[in-house]
Amino acid sequence: MINAPAALDADSLAWDKQGGLLPVVVQDAHSLRVLMLGYMDRAALAATVREGRVTFFSRSKGRLWTKGETSGHVLELVGIETDCDRDTLLVRAIAHGPTCHLQRPSCFPDARSDFLGALDALVERRERERPAGSYTTSLFEGGIRRCAQKVGEEGVETALAAVAQDDAALVGEAADLLFHLLVTLRARGLSLDDVRDELERRHRP
């Protein structure tokens, strides 16, 4: 789970180790992809928590710098936690646009991500925005019964593929099932994170 920003005690952090700056790893809150590395001083951390937008201390500019202040590609704060030595921060954020100045999602082009988490975030946007012509929109507008019906259909097709078809067919049907399950969860106001939390609870020692 992500720590609430207010729960982070700035006075307990090891500011003196690196001249008043802490390295900050920024991670996409949905896909878990590493987006960038920056640095914060006390003022940058305070601004990040206060404004809800990730702010760094720019060593090249010699001042506070809010990501996206000129491009509009801001990082919306979700949570902050510290490492075991309290000298590095992990920030989880929602990226509004590409993070990298090369217009890539991440400054690390080969950084791995959880596509299922990213897909869940897309489903959430579809539910909120309801773009015309979207298949996902049509499912939401059909109501929970329509969504649940599709889960049932895809579940049966997945089971049949498992016993009577090849691996490619099974993978394809499983993908359809997972997608429609994400839509159904969202139609009930739930998300993939709720399922993850339940699985973690069940397997917690």
Segment 69-127, tens digit of pLDDT: 999 999 999 999 999 999 999 999 999 999 999 999 999 999 988 899 889 989 999 99
* Mean pLDDT value of segment 32-46: 96
Q: Which residues contact 178 (CB under 8 A, 6 or more apart)?
A: 116
Q: Strand 34-40 and strand 22-28: pairing?
A: antiparallel
* Mean pLDDT value of segment 53-80: 94
The structural domains of the chain, with segments of one domain joined by +, span 5-95, 115-203
Q: What is the pLDDT of residue 2?
A: 38
Please, what is the average pLDDT of the chain?
93
Between 8 and 144, residue with greater pLDDT: 144
Q: What is the pLDDT of residue 4?
A: 42
Q: What is the pLDDT of residue 5?
A: 47
pTM of the model: 0.72
* Mean pLDDT value of segment 42-61: 95
Q: What is the pLDDT of residue 118?
A: 87
Q: Which CATH class is domain 5-95?
A: alpha beta
Q: What is the pLDDT of residue 7?
A: 60
161 with 170: CB under 8 angstroms?
yes
User: 136: closest CA among 176, 168, 94?
Assistant: 176
Between 125 and 2, residue with greater pLDDT: 125
Q: Which residues contact 205 (CB under 8 A, 6 or more apart)?
A: none
> What residue type is assigned to position 98 of the chain?
P
Query: For 115-203, which CATH superfamily applies?
Result: MazG-like (1.10.287.1080)
> Is residue 151 over pLDDT 90?
yes
Residues in the chain: 205
* Mean pLDDT value of segment 136-154: 98
* Mean pLDDT value of segment 181-189: 97
Q: What percent of the chain has pLDDT over 90?
A: 87
Distance CA 98, CA 130 (A): 23
List strand residue ranges (DSSP E) for the chain, in order.
Answer: 22-28, 34-40, 55-58, 63-66, 75-82, 89-95
* Mean pLDDT value of segment 125-130: 96
Q: What is the pLDDT of residue 144?
A: 97
Distance CA 127, CA 141 (A): 9
* Mean pLDDT value of segment 53-71: 94
Cα distances (angstroms) measured from residue 91 to each of 3, 83, 103, 168, 194: 10, 11, 21, 38, 21
